[in-house]
Chain A
Amino acid sequence: MTELKTFKNITCTFCGALCDNIEVKVKDNKIEELKNACAISRKKYEHALKDRTSPMINGEESTYQEVIEKAAEILKNSKNPLIYGLSSTTAEAQKNAVKLAELSGANIDSTSSVCHGPGTMAKQLVGMITATLGEIKNRSDLMVFWGANPVEAHPNHSKRYTMLSEGLFKKNRSDREVIVFDVRKTPTAKMADQFIRVEPGKDFELLMALRLIIQGKKPETEAGKVAGLELAEIEAAAEKLKNARYGSIFYGMGLTMTGAKYMNTWAAMSLIRDLNNDHQRRFVMMPMRGHGNVAGSEITMAWQTGYPFAVNFSKAYPRYNPGEYTAVDLLANKEVDAAFIIASDPAGNLPKKAAAHLKDIPTIILDPHWNFTSDFADVVIPSALKGITASGTVYRMDHVPLHLRSFLEDEWPDDAAAVAQIGELIENA
């Protein structure tokens, strides 16, 4: 029997907040004790070693080497494959995946396209004013959550980085005003000083009205209302934004998935830009990134290809176009003839009819755990657990990189190794 070993400052990879203060006690390759983990993180660690995948081809058990070779064969023989997922794996695996996409003339897209990709598209139109989380903790006197519900999606976010954190200049909750804009009174809204209910799908109109007021003009509407709100209410909200010295807006899927989609974020980014026009006032914004390393998927893809997601390699160089090379579109239009899913579950997470095409074409999945996609995948490649049995790099929602240390043993290689091996087989074929 081995001794109890303690690992401090371990990074949890569940969400984009990447809390790096998890304490784990390990004995006999098992987690005995966990500290500082949120409810979701705790479940994640508890479940880590259960429900593990094993090498499978067409529903038959196989060997690791065989599944790797089969994956290479499928990608090589495909005319227009899709590589998708990436946001729950390490930057090292993401880098290798881009190389693999290049080698196999594939389309490569991350879950970002159905998550915060629209924010990145908006950034390409107007730019983005942002900060690292610690800066917001230290300075922000007004925190706005727009279509974001971190209490349920990023449970430790408020304690570590926002409302309840201790900062350099802002010490506690009473030093900060908190406003939540949302279509429903979420648990996050319940923690705020003010909840402003936005009519569903009308975020764009409200953001544009706020911009106008901040520019010193008046919105015009026949009904005297915008997004279900009286003009006076909107003016009062604008006044609060204007009174901030270092304001911050955290935005979630409530902005990126609704109505005007990326143009919502464009409007929000334009609002933030306008708010910075007063010399005394700073204002920043932050996407509430969901998956642990979804930010990393955009970062690694960008330095290798110049583009953040939705990249196509059929011409042996990268091309970019969300709406064309994004997973939902490629699958819904039935344009791809093979798919390699890396650390994701499109059958669970994409619109059902898009995921359905995966059942028709050869599909490979690389994931440590069984999920809805591995259920029908032609090839299942098992993998080590990021941040538990595998090391690597992850990028937080504010692009701060963290190194993952492994503290348990695994029988399977990690994602980075699997992807690299498939790439080598294609390259040397």
Chain B
Amino acid sequence: MLRLKNAVIYDPTNNKDGVKEDIWIENGKIAAEPKPEVVKELKAADDLEEIDLNGKIVMAGGVDIHSHIAGPKVNSGRVLRPEDHRRDNVARKGKLRSGVGSTVPSSYVTGYRYSLMGYTTVMEAAGPPMKAKHIHEEFGDLPYIDKGFLVLSGNNYFVLKFISENNQQALKDYLAWLINVTGAFGLKVVNPGGVEAWKEGKRMRGIDEKGTHFDLSPKEILLALAKAADDLELPHPIHLHTNDLGSAGNYKTAINTMKLLEDYRLHITHVQFSSYGKNEDSKIKFAMATDEIAAEINRQSKLTVDIGQLVFGEATTMTADGILEYNLHKLSGNKWVNTDVEMETGSGIVPMNYKKKNLVNDIQWATGMELFLKIEDPWKVFLTTDHPNAGPFTAYPWIIKLLMDKNYRKDYISDLNDKFDEYTDLSSLDREYSLSEIAVISRSGPAKALGLKNKGHLGVGADADITIYNNIEDNDIAEVFAHPAYVFKSGKMIVKAGELLDNLEIGKTLVTKPEYDQNIIELIREDFQKYYSISIDNYPVTDHYYDKIEVIPCVTKE
């Protein structure tokens, strides 16, 4: 047994806000405090290890609800950018494998850097079903963290076909089958209908227009998918990348979507990219719509969002939204990768450099910041950079500092474009996040939204994923969150004094296994065999691809 003594605990799930207590760990889980006689016995048998934390800050391990860390798109981004890695090298050390870093780090370095930052669970945000084996292969080389992936399901042939046939039962069975055979954790919906339109050489705007071969509007697709996810009782609702992402004036689409799905559970990801107004009089056309978006989120009860906070500097944008990447390529002139995946999805990659003096980038940065500050309930808004789209995940400590320290924020703004204040409200916002609120947006909230009952808190029975930070009174906030004193993963120490211990381990893969009617396979077999290019029998991810796996139950009704 392990005892962490004299911890100052920030565990919002269990209403602990700076409470000084000990934490007990056994078999990789948080345990209840043993009775004094048991402690005595343990001590006598030399079975109790004690670490005195001396009043350091303790939180559950960080949980990232949306990050691109493994799979074909991420890997293609790695190949695309040797210049991204060349100056950021990580040498082999003990059992720790080597690799490269920067915006698209190699798999090992991705695991190291999350761990070094005290994050222990990360959700890969978008995987094409057909290439799911690749994701799981990479997961096998992604150390320490627990991870899962969200399977792309907003433009799949069978999804569109069953919705256009009004066959909700088949849709539900297909989605459940898809999650099972791809080893996914949940459903990712990217620009529903719009990716199919891109493949057909068409453009769609808003959520009402019909346009593709399937004659469906995004609205119809969204409703059917949200309903299916609720009916399947998936731990995490549909994880939505809205239509019209990234374009000026798109906040209306986002709000229409939120209203449309008000009665369903919904997570909207990197909402920063969906919250732009349009100002025809302005040269840059871009405007803020954070008031409107925040108001709608504040009004709704089930909706959660993550931000996708922009970080100045190098980034590598990558998404299943092919048309979006095409637009970014036209905008930046940078190199552009596009991959259409048959019957399922698309994808694109474009490197970007967000500049402090660029007014559009400034507005994007401020949009994220303002949403953090204007969304009242921290349980509805989570910390992400949509890594590596709006910036690398390694910027989280810096973002935390911006949220916790209004003076730092104001100083920072003074470095931006001179016209910053004409376009944004940020300078007038005085809210500062508390440590407890930081704990919510970086672990407790995302864990709850993902339906991970054993993550994001330090209650008895939770996974012993624990991060211990130095106190913020004597230290720079960003430094504190960038270099935890200790990190425990499943009860084992993996980081000590800001350094990774060299006991390389691979974490768990988190999956769900919703039930479905086996007949669905026969229902899709004929079209599958004709229009896919591989056999349906070779489609499922077989057990070879799983090392340590945890099945998260599909129960949402208490």
Chain A directly contacts chain B within the complex, with at least one CB pair under 8 Å: yes
B16 CB-CB contact with A under 8 Å: no
Residue-by-residue, is B198-232 near A (CB-CB < 8 Å gives 1, otherwise 0)?
Answer: 11010100000000010000000000000000000
B289 CB-CB contact with A under 8 Å: no
In this complex, how many residues of chain B approach chain A with their Cβ under 8 Å: the count is 65
User: When the two chains form their complex, are residues A304 and B107 in contact, meaning their CB atoms are under 8 A apart?
Assistant: yes
B531 CB-CB contact with A under 8 Å: yes
Given the known inter-chain contacts A134-B343, A315-B89, please indicate yes or no for A9 contacting B533, CB distance below 8 A: no
Given the known inter-chain contacts A130-B338, A307-B79, A400-B131, please indicate yes or no for A168 contacting B531, CB distance below 8 A: yes
User: When the two chains form their complex, are residues B533 and A133 in contact, meaning their CB atoms are under 8 A apart?
Assistant: yes
B349 CB-CB contact with A under 8 Å: yes
B35 CB-CB contact with A under 8 Å: no
User: When the two chains form their complex, are residues A135 and B75 in contact, meaning their CB atoms are under 8 A apart?
Assistant: no
User: When the two chains form their complex, are residues B89 and A395 in contact, meaning their CB atoms are under 8 A apart?
Assistant: no
Query: Contact check: which of B339, B533, B538, B544 meets A134 at CB < 8 Å?
Result: B533
User: When the two chains form their complex, are residues B131 and A102 in contact, meaning their CB atoms are under 8 A apart?
Assistant: no
Query: Contact check: which of A126, A128, A139, A303 meets B141 at CB < 8 Å?
Result: A303
A5 CB-CB contact with B under 8 Å: no
Q: CA A8 – CA B76 in complex, angstroms?
A: 32
User: Across the interface, which residues of B come within 8 angstroms of A129, CB to CB?
Assistant: 336-338
User: When the two chains form their complex, are residues A132 and B99 in contact, meaning their CB atoms are under 8 A apart?
Assistant: no
| Chain A: minimal CB distance from B533 (Å) | 3
> Among A21, A127, A305, which residue has the most Cβ atoms of chain B within 10 A?
A127
User: Across the interface, which residues of B come within 8 angstroms of A316, CB to CB?
Assistant: 91-92, 98
User: When the two chains form their complex, are residues A391 and B79 in contact, meaning their CB atoms are under 8 A apart?
Assistant: no
Given the known inter-chain contacts A8-B537, A21-B535, A135-B342, please indicate yes or no for A303 contacting B92, CB distance below 8 A: no
User: When the two chains form their complex, are residues B339 and A304 in contact, meaning their CB atoms are under 8 A apart?
Assistant: no
B341 CB-CB contact with A under 8 Å: yes
Binds A, one of B80-88, B162-170, B233-241, B371-379: B80-88
| A-B contacts at CB below 8 angstroms, number | 197
A407 CB-CB contact with B under 8 Å: no
User: When the two chains form their complex, are residues B99 and A306 in contact, meaning their CB atoms are under 8 A apart?
Assistant: yes
Query: Contact check: which of A21, A127, A302 meets B335 at CB < 8 Å?
Result: A127
Query: Contact check: which of B79, B213, B535, B537 meets A124 at CB < 8 Å?
Result: B79
User: Across the interface, which residues of B come within 8 angstroms of A124, CB to CB?
Assistant: 79-82, 335
> Taking chain A's interface residues, is the majority helix, strand, or loop, or is none over half, making it mixed?
mixed
| Chain B: minimal CB distance from A391 (Å) | 7
Interface residues of B in 6-26 (CB under 8 A from A): none
Q: CA A316 – CA B76 in complex, angstroms?
A: 24
User: When the two chains form their complex, are residues B534 and A303 in contact, meaning their CB atoms are under 8 A apart?
Assistant: no
Q: CA A277 – CA B333 in complex, angstroms?
A: 12
User: When the two chains form their complex, are residues A318 and B100 in contact, meaning their CB atoms are under 8 A apart?
Assistant: yes
A163 CB-CB contact with B under 8 Å: no
Q: CA A21 – CA B199 in complex, angstroms?
A: 27
Given the known inter-chain contacts A317-B91, A393-B137, please indicate yes or no for A282 contacting B201, CB distance below 8 A: yes
User: When the two chains form their complex, are residues B349 and A127 in contact, meaning their CB atoms are under 8 A apart?
Assistant: yes
B278 CB-CB contact with A under 8 Å: no
User: Across the interface, which residues of B come within 8 angstroms of A298, CB to CB?
Assistant: 79
User: Across the interface, which residues of A come within 8 angstroms of B338, CB to CB?
Assistant: 127-130, 276, 284
B133 CB-CB contact with A under 8 Å: yes
Query: Contact check: which of B78, B336, B531 meets A303 at CB < 8 Å?
Result: B78
User: When the two chains form their complex, are residues A135 and B336 in contact, meaning their CB atoms are under 8 A apart?
Assistant: no
User: Across the interface, which residues of A come within 8 angstroms of B532, CB to CB?
Assistant: 134
A-B pairs with beta carbons under 8 Å apart, 28 shown: A8-B537, A20-B534, A20-B535, A21-B535, A102-B92, A102-B97, A124-B82, A126-B335, A126-B336, A127-B329, A128-B338, A129-B337, A131-B340, A135-B340, A168-B343, A245-B201, A281-B201, A284-B338, A302-B106, A307-B100, A316-B98, A317-B99, A318-B89, A319-B89, A320-B86, A393-B133, A393-B544, A403-B542
Given A168-B343, A302-B106, 8 more A-B residue pairs with CB atoms under 8 Å apart are: A102-B98, A131-B342, A132-B340, A305-B99, A306-B104, A318-B106, A399-B134, A403-B538
